[in-house]
Amino acid sequence: MEFNSLDPIGHEEEPRRLFSNHRLRRGVYLLPSACTVANLLCGYYAILAILEGQKTDLDHASWAIGIAIVLDSLDGRIARAMGTNSEFGKQFDSLADLISFGIAPAFLAYVWGVRAMAAFNAPEDWHLTQLGWLVGFFYLGCCAWRLARFNIQGMAPGGSRFFAGMPTPAAAGAVAAIVHFFQNPISDPRLSLLWLVLLVALGLLMSSTIRHYSFKDIPWTRRQPSLAVVLLVMLMGAIVLFSQITLMLLACTYVVHGVTLYTIRSVRHRLASRHA
């Protein structure tokens, strides 16, 4: 059935269609923002759980940070897939990341690795608590630096395959995975000092320009080989059944791979310069 330009029914149908499309576009923009809000909620919950200070609460906080990592990867992919990228969404996402991957991991690292140790040891070992405050702030500052630099410079030169510096979710994931793996808070001052050294290393990797793989060039929405699907299902099963060792291996492997690739490239460059 067709309507001419003077048909009153046709005039009613057009605004209704435009209104429906407007509501759909509004919903599309809300979907990635909802993931960002959920990410922020996970960071907020993690901080509340950390304040309780018990072993199970700290483990719950590590899980909340892990869920925030998944949500952070989803909001960007959804926004790019639906063409709803915006400057507001980018800034909102960075603020949520600062809570979930900056403040929450810094709190978790201090309470799990320093404060518990101070409670079990003599007062002369308490100087590590002051060092823990300083290192935690250093980690947080590097996280904020990394997020601000990414908002201005974006990915590493040469495309979207690599990040310039380790992404903040990876650093937070390393902290959360270690806490989830060992469960019991640190009570040995030597281990506490080693833990602070690791936090400093994570902060330096975030603020460095060492490239880390982004996984953004993988065509997730296209048809994949059957073997890839099987491997993905096996990985998900391993996370569910053996979460401690699986998440620990994934987090540590990602942290180390950037340094390993940087070292290999440096050695090749030096060898090439010698032979030139």
Exposed / middle / buried, residue 130 (Cβ in 10 Å: 0-12, 13-18, 19+) = exposed
| Summary mean pLDDT of the chain | 83
Query: How large is the average pLDDT for residues 79-94?
Result: 79
Assess if residue 7 is contained within a domain. no
Residue 57 has a pLDDT of 95
- Helices 168-182 and 189-207: angle between axes, nearest 10 degrees: 160
Domains of the chain: total: 1
Q: 213 in helix, strand or coil?
A: strand
Measured CA angle at 116 (ends 144, 111), to 5 deg: 20
Secondary structure class of 226 (helix, strand, coil): helix
* Confidence at residue 180, expressed as pLDDT on a 0 to 100 scale: 96
The answer to whether residue 176 sits within a structural domain is: yes
Residue 216 has what DSSP assignment?
Answer: T
pLDDT exceeds 70 at position 37? yes
* CA–CA distance, 90 with 71 (Å, rounded to integer): 14
Residue 168 lies in a domain: yes
204 domain residue, yes or no: yes
- Is 49 among the domain residues? yes
Highest mean pLDDT among 70-74, 197-201, 236-240: 197-201
| Domain CATH for 144 | 1.20.120.1760
Q: Helix-strand-coil percent breakdown of the chain, rounded to 5?
A: 80, 0, 20
Rounded to the nearest 5 degrees, what angle is found at the Cα of 263, between the Cα atoms of 70 and 217?
A: 35
Within a domain: residue 5? no
DSSP secondary structure string, 123-170? GGGTHHHHHHHHHHHHHHHHHHHHHHHHHHH-S-TTSSSEEES--HHH
CA distances from 114 to 52, 128, 141, 144, 182 (A): 15, 7, 19, 22, 15
Per the domain annotation, does 53 fall within a domain?
A: yes
Q: Comparing 27-31, 87-91, 94-98, 179-183, which segment has the lowest mean pLDDT?
A: 27-31
Range of the domain at 253: 12-275
In a domain, residue 4? The reply is no
